[in-house]
Amino acid sequence: MTARQRLLLAGFTVLGLGAATTSAVVHYRLMGDPGYTSFCDVNSTVSCTEAYLSPWGALFGVPVAVLGVLWFVAVALLLGAERAARRAVAESIPGYVFVLSVVGLGFVAYLAYGAFFVLKTICMMCLLTYVAVVGIFLVSSAATRFPMSTLPSRAARDLKTMASSPVAIAMTVVFLVAAVSAIAFFPKEAGAAGGAGQAPLATPASSLTPEQRARIEQQFDQSPRAIVPVDPDGAAVLVVKFHDYQCPPCGRTYEDYKPILAHYAKQNPGKVKLVEKDFPIEAECNPNTPTGGHLAACEAAAAARMARDKGEAIAAKMSDWLYANQSTLTPMSVREGARIVAGITDFDGRYQAMLQQVKIDASLGGLLQVRSTPTFFINGVKIDGGLPPPVFDAIIAHELKKAAK
């Protein structure tokens, strides 16, 4: 490997490790801090929160940012070994890095597809990670001087060499322990609190320690409160949600919070009120968003409003259908879904009237400086992107307790 190739690989590794570490820190804060807003959330399109808290933000429950950190650390260790190892082993290192980069390239291609084509979101830290992986792939490919068909035999030989080196063994053990610890101790995704088809979890906040609850309550109490012109109708806790039916985190919070809200409706009737406001990421009905965006968001919002005229049960079925099919919604499929699910046969005739109501919600969101979906206001405290269900539950319980004093 030439000095220039070595320098390029080191540079791309440092870039990727920095981006992945920053992503992991942001993801950690988003999961535990109700008032946290990521520095890389520019608007509804350029948003780290949309990416990290979506289904594409984790793999088998492990945040992809943590997996990225471990991947770049593994590359860094190989590059360090290339300088310290015997010549025969050092010659194989670019090939090992290349194999890692092929795996990494496939993974980032999958994530990029999810971000750009499913979520329609740009995550700046993710982009830096993609650049780093592609750079490592290209440089390691050029630096590999032997046929890849010989790599298995080289690996067997090099493993025997490593087994005779206490330093190599120690580094391997430290890396494995660190990897397992990072995965084990990172806060788990809280989506298990009540998705479709799961038994309702009445008290997800019980999973929090007293110290965690105290910290959440203190942070919430210290957060600024906006005046949200929505009638609480006697409720002690008013939750206002600005949403978009094609927004994956909106769908996730819709399912996650459903059993929590049902619990309070049963235990504290009339004390917790959820008001959903439309904020479609589509310029046709929301002037606060850029041109383009979610191409069926306005139709979806209109369909949901038409369904409400038929009663709560039909409205709930319509919302369930829209969120369940959000990744494949088109203006025509929304019309067909409205006809089948809610019996709406005059969609086109009522569409413009519904859009005017949607625009009123979107204008309110603009006045409240809503920039992305979902955005919640819990008794006036603005929360971008939603909260893990235990934190959401803990805050509602806290506000109810204060109101009862």
The CATH number for 52's domain is 1.20.1440.130
Residue 259 preceded by cis peptide, ω within 30: no
**pLDDT tens for each residue of the chain, 405 residues long:** 788 988 999 999 999 999 999 988 888 777 665 456 677 777 656 777 767 766 677 776 678 888 899 999 999 988 887 766 666 667 888 888 899 899 999 988 988 887 777 767 788 888 999 999 999 999 999 988 888 888 888 788 877 777 776 776 777 787 787 777 767 666 654 433 333 333 333 455 666 788 888 889 999 999 999 999 999 999 999 999 999 999 888 998 999 999 999 999 999 999 999 999 999 999 899 988 865 578 899 999 999 999 999 999 999 999 999 999 988 899 999 999 999 999 999 999 999 999 999 999 999 999 999 988 999 999 999 998 888 888 999 999 999 999 987
The pLDDT assigned to 195 comes to 34
Domain assignment present for 293: yes
Residue 340 has a pLDDT of 95
pLDDT at 26: 84
Chosen domain end from 162, 185, 208: 185
Domain residues for 20?
Answer: 3-185
User: Contact 404/267 with Cβ under 8 angstroms?
Assistant: no
Has residue 190 been placed in a domain?
Answer: no
Q: What number of residues does the chain have?
A: 405
Could you give the CA distance from residue 87 to residue 253 in angstroms, rounded to a whole number?
55
Domain assignment present for residue 270? The answer is yes
Q: Is residue 169 part of a domain?
A: yes
In a domain, 243, yes or no: yes
Per residue in 166-200, is it b (16+ CB within 10 Å) or e — as a string? eebeebeeeeeeebeebeeebeebbbebbeeeeee
pLDDT at position 36 is: 61
Q: How far is CA 44 from CA 228, 281, 369, in A?
A: 21, 7, 12
Residues 161 and 272 in one domain: no
Domain assignment present for residue 191? The answer is no
Assigned domain for 141 exists? yes
Check whether residue 151 and residue 266 sit in a common domain. Answer: no
176, 214: one domain: no
Q: Are residues 365 and 322 in the same domain?
A: yes
- Claim to verify: residue 354 and residue 206 sit in the same structural domain: yes
Going across the sheet that includes 375-378, the strands are 272-278, 237-243, 375-378, 381-384
Number of domains in the chain: 2
Are 208 and 280 contained in the same domain? yes
Boundary of a domain, candidates 156, 185, 214: 185
Q: What's the CATH number where 278 sits?
A: 3.40.30.10
Q: Please indicate, yes or no, whether residues 148 and 262 belong to a single structural domain of this protein.
A: no
Single pTM value for the model: 0.58
Domain shared by 128 and 239, yes or no: no
